[in-house]
């Protein structure tokens, strides 16, 4: 129970080497990244479960923070190397490609949506102008 209270009163930062750092004030992600070159800051969402009378924590989601975001008290953050981020992005891109290859109908719907959106953007991008044609006057 004492560990839970320590988490609530501090910003918890888990380093790549396993070290845990606690800060007792909010801090910008930029400051943390400057102090740890080559790393991104990620917010870790934890879920708690009771098993055999013991409380276990499990990371259920990791979200990269923008440099302007503030690390808040009571949250757990993890430092992730640039290489880990690159690998994760590559894996996600490959999963997206596989999903598109596996469902051609969905790909066609997405392409139609993109075409429609691009047409809408073009029509919104320039104002409407009437097209006037010359009319010859018949004199008599």
Provide the number of structural domains found in the chain.
2
State the residue for tokens 């992600």.
29
3-state DSSP assignment of residue 8: helix
- For the chain, the straight-line distance linking the first and the last C-alpha, in angstroms and rounded, comes to 103
Residues 68 and 111 in one domain: no
Residues 71 and 104 in one domain: no
Residues 40 and 77 in one domain: yes
Q: What strands lie across the sheet with 11-14, from one edge to the other?
A: 20-23, 11-14, 76-81, 39-51, 54-64
pTM: 0.54
* 39 contacts 31 by C-beta, under 8 angstroms: no
pLDDT in tens, 45-99: 777 778 777 777 776 777 888 989 999 888 889 898 888 878 878 888 888 877 7
How far is 90 from 83, CA to CA, in rounded Å?
11
How far is 133 from 136, CA to CA, in rounded Å?
10
pLDDT in tens, 70-82: 998 888 898 988 8
Check residues 129 and 73 and name the one with the higher pLDDT. Answer: 73
Give the residue numbers spanning the domain of 110. 90-123
């Amino acid at each position: 129970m004492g560990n839970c209270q320590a988490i609530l009163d501090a910003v918890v930062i888990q380093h790549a080497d396993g070290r845990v750092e606690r800060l007792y004030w909010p801090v910008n992600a930029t400051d943390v990244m400057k102090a740890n070159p080559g790393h991104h800051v990620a917010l870790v969402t934890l879920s708690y479960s009771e098993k055999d009378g013991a409380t276990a924590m499990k990371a259920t989601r990791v979200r990269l923070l923008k440099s302007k975001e503030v690390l808040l008290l009571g949250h757990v953050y993890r430092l992730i190397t640039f290489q880990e981020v690159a690998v994760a992005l590559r894996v996600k891109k490959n999963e997206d490609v596989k999903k598109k290859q596996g469902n051609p109908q969905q790909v066609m719907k997405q392409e139609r949506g993109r075409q429609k959106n691009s047409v809408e953007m073009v029509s919104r991008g320039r104002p409407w102008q009437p097209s006037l044609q010359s009319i010859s006057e018949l004199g008599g």
